[in-house]
Amino acid sequence: MNMNVKLAEVEGSSVAASMAVPVAVAAPEPMAKAASGPAMLILGAVSLSHFLNDMLQSLLPAIYPLLKTEFSLSFAEVGLITLVFQLTGSVLQPLIGTFTDRHPLPYSASLGMISSFSGLVLLSIAGSLPMLLVAAALVGVGSAIFHPESSRMARAASGGRYGLAQSLFQVGGNFGTSSRPLLAALIVVPLGRSSVGGFVVVPLAAMAILFYVGRWYARRLAAAPPKAHNAHAKALPLPRAQVTRALLVLMALMFSKFFYTASMTTFYTFYLIHKFALPVGEAQLGLFAYLFAFASGTLIGGPLGDRYGRLPVIWISIVGALPLALAMPYANLPGTIILSMLVGFVISSAFSTIVVYAQELLPGRVGMVSGLFFGLAFGMGGLGAGSLGVLADHTSVNFVFRLCAFLPAIGFLTWFLPKLGQPTPPVAAAKA
């Protein structure tokens, strides 16, 4: 197996090459040659496990309306639950990713489901807000262990089509998240919070799938040349100052995307209830429409980035959502549902492209980059939910939506991102 990640070419490559700066040592991820194409069975298994993991996560916000009533929670306390869950994941993910860059752990994602399992059981029986926070933290730890190594295994199976692999990986998670309102409307709301305990089969199924994928990945590691397991220096494709500036811009784009997403995923049901007097079940179906469109948009971003380049996809995804987001707070109910779906579809297509672009900025650090950006997604979402919850308590949910509509304007910072490499040509799929 070819153990080298091709560095993205940069305009004026002769100058950039002379200024290349070595980064910290890191073990390369094993992957198939681009000519062999992606291992679609493995990518499908990783995507399915991501679906199950994020469906499990989605049970927590699915019961927010029930928790708010049962425990007399304020919007700020609802946001605090999200904050604990997502900050737990955001802090641990880059640390776990950095460790596994040097010491790959093929079975770690499977074992991480034990924490998720424990959090799910506790969530169904918790009798106080502190216990709910512990349950949320346990689910967050499980996700923190899952994402870096699973993302690495998806890249290893990409056959060089990194955008496609990242999109397939992420679309599973987003469809898992989009199942949340259906779970709430059809199961959790009618049967009550105790019904959450019946979902313990989900982490068990994910463990079995991830064990299969981990065994495949372990064979790839064992078949790699011995020197491939040794740490070695990688060169940055740009001067360090440019790489640092580009990473800061990417973080600002993540702030824009995930603060806006937090306003939708945490408070959209309350917005529909307050503004249009919808019952909880119907509001959850409106959220499902948004999340389903969000998941669908994820699928196209990576392949488009492979074909046409990363930057055009980032531009269209974030800035393109701005006029739609600005119009939504002033629309009637049908218009709100349609605009929310369009916003979700457009804004979601950037994440897989941003992750692959960052991996090209920092070659050889797949786990660290994946952990950092999935961690940022968790952290930004948690901070957004917490801070917007406080703001909603002091103003209104309607005001929060009007304010957050301006967040996609931060996407204009994409102008400062340097162009990296060339689009990857399409490659036929290979068997795992």
Q: Which of 220-229, 297-306, 322-331, 420-429 has the lowest mean pLDDT?
A: 420-429
270, with CB counted inside 10 A (0-12, 13-18, 19+), is: buried
pLDDT of residue 47: 92
- What's the count of helices (H) and strands (E) in the chain, helices before strands? 18, 0
Closest CA to 256 of 80, 413, 89, 81: 413
pLDDT tens track for 7-64: 333 334 333 333 333 333 344 444 444 435 678 899 999 999 999 988 888 788 778 8
pLDDT of residue 36: 52
Q: What average pLDDT does the structure give for the chain?
A: 80
Residue with the larger pLDDT of the pair 350 and 429: 350
Closest CA to 296 of 173, 175, 151, 408: 175
What's the rounded mean pLDDT across residues 394-420? 91
What's the rounded mean pLDDT across residues 313-324? 91
Distance CA 113, CA 94 (A): 18
The three-class DSSP label of residue 430 is strand
H/E stretch holding 121 reads helix 108-125
What's the rounded mean pLDDT across residues 362-380? 75
Residue 382 is given by DSSP the state H
What's the rounded mean pLDDT across residues 86-93? 78
CB-CB neighbours of 119 under 10 Å: 28
pLDDT of residue 235: 67
Indicate whether 381 pLDDT > 60: yes
Residue 328 is given by DSSP the state G
Terminal alpha carbon distance of the chain: 13
Q: Which of 44-48, 85-89, 158-162, 382-386 has the lowest mean pLDDT?
A: 382-386
Give the pLDDT band of residue 105 (cuts 50, 70, 90).
confident
What's the rounded mean pLDDT across residues 378-387? 71
pLDDT tens track for 112-150: 888 988 888 888 888 889 999 999 999 889 888 888 888
pLDDT of residue 382: 64
pLDDT of residue 100: 82
DSSP for 125-171, written as a single string? H--SHHHHHHHHHHHHHHHHHHHHHHHHHHHHTSTT-HHHHHHHHHH
List of domains in the chain: 37-416 (1.20.1250.20)
Give the pLDDT band of residue 378 (cuts 50, 70, 90).
low
Calculate the alpha carbon distances from 104 to 122, 142, 242, 256, 385 in Å.
Answer: 31, 17, 29, 32, 33
232 phi and psi angles, rounded to 5 deg = -150, 155
H/E stretch holding 70 reads helix 64-70
Query: ∠ CA(344), CA(348), CA(354), 5° rounding?
Result: 160
Q: Which of 58-62, 283-287, 351-355 has the lowest mean pLDDT?
A: 58-62
